[in-house]
Structure 1
Amino acid sequence: MKERILLVEDDHGLLEFCSYLLTREKYLVTACSSAAEALAFMRGGAYDILLTDFNLGDGCGADLLAFSKQVAPAARALLMTGDDSQRAALRKPFSRQELLSVVAS
């Protein structure tokens, strides 16, 4: 069975694009467009991978990573950003292959 991904991105176009690509690869994707929505899911939902944007309209992806370590310590956490000053697993803009490679590794 493929892994469950919690995808958090406040750019709706990118959220839909990533969700589509990951679903096509048979991942089970829960897509959230805000930090608040993601936090609500994280409190009770199950996921194997957290893939979150760093800069969210209502919060910071780094805070989601920290919370994820508390509620789902076995889950992998991946950060994506377009901000060159931040360390991230995935730098925007990214290709389809880069997204799939980072998630699969």
Structure 2
Amino acid sequence: MNKKILIVEDDVVFCRLLTKFLSRNNYEVMDAQNGKDAFELMEMNEFKLAILDYRLPDMTGLEILEKLKSKSPGSKIILITRYGDQDIANQAIEKGADAFISKPINPNELLEVINKL
């Protein structure tokens, strides 16, 4: 897998924490705090892995998942949310998500999930 990861997370502090953590673990990380910015990054880059927050200010992570999967069908997707809703998890898996993680997230556990994909 190429090591370029897209993180879409509207919590700026949490987003920066994940970006720095994954960068220190030899991943090239780009991040966005909303769907519009994520779409712009997706137009200019190819991501083999995306970590998407479900609830964003302008759309849901499922909408970004669908766009990324249509552009790069082999991309791996991890959907995260602080709302451990089983319906959201089921929708995410049906749309092609490879993993669903509820917040709060331990960065080391996230890295384990990434390494298994």
State the TM-score, normalizing by the size of structure 2.
0.84
Q: Which runs of 4+ in 1 moved over 6 A?
A: none
**Residue deviations 1:14-65 (CA, integer Å, cap 9, x gap):** 0000001100100000111111000111123111101110000111000111
**Structure that is richer in helix per residue:** 2
Aligned residues: 105
| RMSD (Å) for aligned C-alpha atoms | 1.4
**Structure that is richer in strand per residue:** 1
Give aligned-pair identity as a percent. 28
Which residue does the alignment assign to 1:36?
36
Unaligned segments of structure 2, at least 5 residues: 90-98
Which residue does the alignment assign to 1:100?
111
In 2, Cα distance between equivalents of 1:34 and 1:68: 14
Aligned ranges 1:4-83 → 2 under 5 Å: 4-83=4-83
Unaligned segments of structure 1, at least 5 residues: none
State the TM-score, normalizing by the size of structure 1.
0.93
